Amino acid sequence: MAKFLTDSPRDIELAGKLLRAGTLVAIPTETVYGLAANAFDEDAVRRIFLAKGRPFIDPLIVHVPTFAQAGSVADTSNPAAAKLAERFCPGPLTMVLPKKNCVPQIVTAGEPTVAVRMPRHPLTQKIMASAGVPLAAPSANPFGYVSPTTAQHVQDSLGDKIGYIVDGGSCDCGIESTIVLVGEEIRILRLGAITREEISECLGAPVALSRGLMEAAAEGARGNDGARAQLAPGMLKKHYSPHAQVCLVDDAEREFPPLLGEVRRSSSREKYAFVFQKRPTRLAGAGGDFASVENVFWLSESGSAADAARAVFALLRKLDAAGYEKIFIEKCRDTGIGAAVNDRLSRAAAK
Site for Mg ion in 235-274 (CB under 5 A): none
Alpha-carbon distance values, 301 to 148, 294, 308, 321 (Å): 22, 17, 9, 23
Could you tell which of ligand TXA, Mg ion, none binds residue 117, using a CB distance below 5 to 8 A set by kind?
Answer: ligand TXA
Does 38 participate in binding Mg ion (rule CB under 5 A)? no
Does 29 participate in binding Mg ion (rule CB under 5 A)? no
Tell me which residue of 165, 142, 136 sits closest to 42, measured CA to CA: 136
Strands 178-182 and 245-249: unpaired
Choose between 134 and 257: whose C-beta lies nearer to ligand TXA: 134
Alpha-carbon distance values, 102 to 71, 95, 129, 134, 321 (Å): 11, 18, 19, 11, 42
Near ligand TXA by CB under 6 A, which window of 111-119, 274-282, 299-307, 314-322?
Answer: 111-119
Near ligand TXA by CB under 6 A, which window of 136-144, 275-283, 302-310, 322-330?
Answer: 136-144
Choose between 214 and 296: whose C-beta lies nearer to ligand TXA: 214
Does 94 participate in binding ligand TXA (rule CB under 6 A)? yes
Choose between 74 and 273: whose C-beta lies nearer to ligand TXA: 74
Q: Give the strands of the sheet with 245-249, arranged side by side.
A: 245-249, 326-330, 272-278, 296-300
Choose between 72 and 346: whose C-beta lies nearer to Mg ion: 346
Q: Which of 95, 115, 273, 314 binds ligand TXA (CB under 6 A)?
A: 115
Tell me which residue of 49, 52, 5, 32 sits closest to 317, measured CA to CA: 32
Contact 115/122 with Cβ under 8 angstroms? no
Does 176 participate in binding ligand TXA (rule CB under 6 A)? yes
Q: Which of 5, 19, 37, 60 binds ligand TXA (CB under 6 A)?
A: 60
Q: Which of 23, 29, 38, 139 binds Mg ion (CB under 5 A)?
A: 139
Q: Which of 16, 148, 212, 338 binds ligand TXA (CB under 6 A)?
A: 212
Query: Binding pattern to Mg ion, positions 83-122, x when CB under 5 A?
Result: ----------------------------------------
| Range 185-194 contact pairs with CB under 8 angstroms and sequence separation of 24 or more | 186/80, 189/96, 189/213, 190/94, 190/343, 191/339, 191/340, 191/343, 192/31, 192/92, 192/93, 192/94, 192/340, 193/30, 193/31, 193/91, 193/92, 193/309, 193/337, 193/340, 194/88, 194/91, 194/92, 194/93
Q: Contact residues for ligand TXA (CB under 6 A)?
A: 29, 31-32, 34, 58-61, 92, 94, 96, 108, 111, 113-115, 117, 137-139, 176-177, 179, 189, 212-214
Contacting residues toward Mg ion, per CB under 5 A: 139
